[in-house]
């Protein structure tokens, strides 16, 4: 065991994750949903993608089609909401911006999850975790759990424990969990509950006698590498407390694409960041096209250099695109929405884009008038160059300003208002 003084100096990783994110975002603006079974539906009101704990308790599974649930909804008191990605993207921005105040080292991992680099003794870290949890609840209105550990994999595991065991009060610090309790908790959890272990590996793991997380921790990392991969070996090492998973910068998930990069040298002006975001817009567009996807909502964020002697700033903005698109120009233009928040003179070290409300390209044939005729014709870089030389607004796209043009093509009969991003949908407060 390292001496306590040494341990204090070891950096730790906090994993912050919103509980049942989409359902919690809905509840933040509609308290009548609190305590009721609630599902959020996929595009076109197809099937349940998020379930509140009450809906889970009814036996509703992710992917259950709404037409099968609807006949019993009244009897169950079940509420369904159409997906409202604009609301979720904006809530996500607010959570991330708030978390950025607690650590200079912030990795936005998904729409509702972030890793933060944190330092301190166990008491300080526990207090920090509780402060973050309370601040997100109070200032944004959604519940989060926090796991803090020496590695990302353990931080994710601690977060899971925090969610599933009320005794932790929503914040679980690895260092403070006694060894026998850790083992008992690990022995209870199937191995594929560990971050990065796909369910399809389970059969092969079972054949080696590995069923639970505890079995995995006790497995020989080298044998794991030889039988599986170096990736799985890293997971085992991380579970044993050796950090080996670096920051990820690009990821495509079930319902989002994240694209972020650290800069070789800090960017200190809005103009500089404008160029960076233009490049990212085009690169994100290429990723979407590669996967045959289009996005409807874009979240843009930036972060200052993680050195503590610099002023910290983590601006983030959510933009609803006028139509589902993978178009580099539209994505670039949308990404520029972050620029007014950039403070000249600060040292920005990282920026990123998160695309949500993804859908297959083929399913969304645009009306002819909305087609992006300039797509794939190299007009993006040209426009960028012209506007860099002659100023913003000197050249632009005719239809880029159309507001929510194609929203009606998507069936969203039960969508809540976009409380935070549309003036005409603001929540009303009635004074008695």
Binding site for Mg ion (CB under 5 A): 17-18, 21, 112
Q: In what order do the strands lie in the sheet with 144-149?
A: 106-110, 113-118, 12-18, 144-149, 171-173
Residue closest to 213 by CA, chosen among 156, 134, 253, 162: 156
Strand, coil or helix: what is 413? Answer: coil
Residue among 88 and 301 whose Cβ is closer to Mg ion: 88
Cβ-based nearer residue to Mg ion, 21 or 85: 21
Neighbours of 389 (CB within 10 A): 9
At closest approach, how far in Å is the CB of 410 from Mg ion?
A: 24
Of 137 and 347, nearer to Mg ion (C-beta) is: 137
Task: List Cα–Cα distances, 280 to 78, 254, 313, 353, 390, in angstroms.
Answer: 41, 21, 20, 7, 22
Nearer to Mg ion, 146 or 288 (CB): 146
Q: Minimum distance between the CB of residue 313 and Mg ion, rounded to whole angstroms?
A: 25
> Measuring CA to CA, which residue among 129, 124, 122, 40 is closest to residue 80?
40
C-alpha 247 chain-centroid distance:
14
Closest distance to Mg ion from the beta carbon of 384 (Å): 36
Closest separation between CB of residue 19 and Mg ion, Å? Answer: 6
CA distance 318 to 295: 13
Q: How far is the CB of 112 from Mg ion (least distance, A)?
A: 4
Q: Cβ of residue 20: shortest distance to Mg ion, in angstroms?
A: 7
Beta strands 113-118 and 79-82 are: unpaired
110 vs 294, which CB is nearer to Mg ion?
Answer: 110
Instruction: Please report the beta strands in 23-178, taking only residues with DSSP state E, as ranges in sequence order.
Output: 38-41, 48-51, 79-82, 106-110, 113-118, 144-149, 171-173
Q: Give whichever of 82 and 92 is closer to Mg ion, judged by the CB atom.
A: 92
Half-sphere exposure of 60 (CA within 13 A, CB side): 30
Least separation in angstroms between residue 8's CB and Mg ion is 30
User: Based on CB atoms, which residue is closest to Mg ion, 99 or 351?
Assistant: 99
């Amino acid at each position: 065991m390292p001496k306590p003084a040494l341990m204090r100096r070891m950096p730790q990783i906090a994993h912050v994750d919103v509980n049942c994110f989409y359902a919690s975002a809905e509840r933040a603006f509609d308290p009548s949903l609190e305590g009721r079974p609630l599902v959020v539906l996929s595009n076109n009101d197809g099937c349940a993608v998020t379930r509140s704990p009450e809906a889970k308790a009814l036996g509703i599974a992710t992917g259950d089609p709404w037409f099968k649930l609807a006949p019993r909804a009244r009897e169950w008191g079940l509420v369904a909401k159409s997906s409202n990605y604009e609301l979720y993207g904006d809530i996500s921005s607010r959570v991330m911006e708030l978390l950025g105040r607690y650590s200079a080292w912030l990795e936005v991992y998904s729409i509702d999850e972030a890793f933060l680099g944190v330092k301190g003794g166990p008491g300080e870290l526990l207090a920090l975790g509780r402060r973050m949890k309370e601040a997100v609840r109070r200032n944004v209105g959604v519940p989060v759990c926090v796991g803090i550990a020496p590695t990302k994999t353990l931080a994710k595991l601690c977060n899971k424990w925090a969610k599933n065991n009320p005794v932790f009060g929503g914040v679980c610090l690895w260092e403070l969990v006694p060894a026998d309790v850790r083992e008992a908790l690990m022995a209870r959890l199937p191995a594929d509950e560990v971050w990065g272990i796909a369910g399809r590996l389970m059969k092969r793991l079972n054949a080696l006698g590995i069923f639970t997380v505890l079995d995995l921790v006790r497995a020989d990392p080298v044998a794991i590498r030889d039988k599986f991969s170096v990736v799985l070996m890293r997971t085992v090492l991380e579970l044993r407390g050796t950090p080996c998973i670096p920051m990820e910068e690009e990821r495509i998930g079930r319902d989002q694409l994240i694209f972020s990069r650290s800069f070789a040298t800090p960017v200190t002006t809005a103009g500089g960041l404008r160029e960076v975001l233009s490049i990212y817009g085009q690169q994100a567009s290429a990723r979407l096209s590669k996967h045959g996807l289009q996005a409807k909502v874009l979240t843009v964020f930036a972060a200052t250099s993680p050195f503590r002697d610099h002023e910290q700033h983590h601006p983030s903005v959510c933009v609803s695109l006028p139509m589902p698109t993978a178009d580099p120009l539209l994505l670039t233009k949308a990404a520029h929405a972050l620029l007014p928040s950039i403070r000249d003179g600060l040292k920005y070290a990282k920026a990123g884009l998160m695309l949500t409300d993804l859908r297959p390209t083929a399913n969304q044939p645009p009306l002819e008038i909305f087609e992006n005729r300039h797509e794939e014709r190299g007009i993006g870089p040209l426009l960028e160059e012209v506007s860099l030389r002659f100023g913003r607004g000197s050249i632009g796209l005719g239809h880029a300003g159309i507001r929510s043009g194609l929203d009606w093509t998507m069936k969203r009969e039960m969508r809540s208002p976009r409380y935070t991003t549309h003036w005409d949908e603001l929540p009303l407060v009635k004074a008695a």
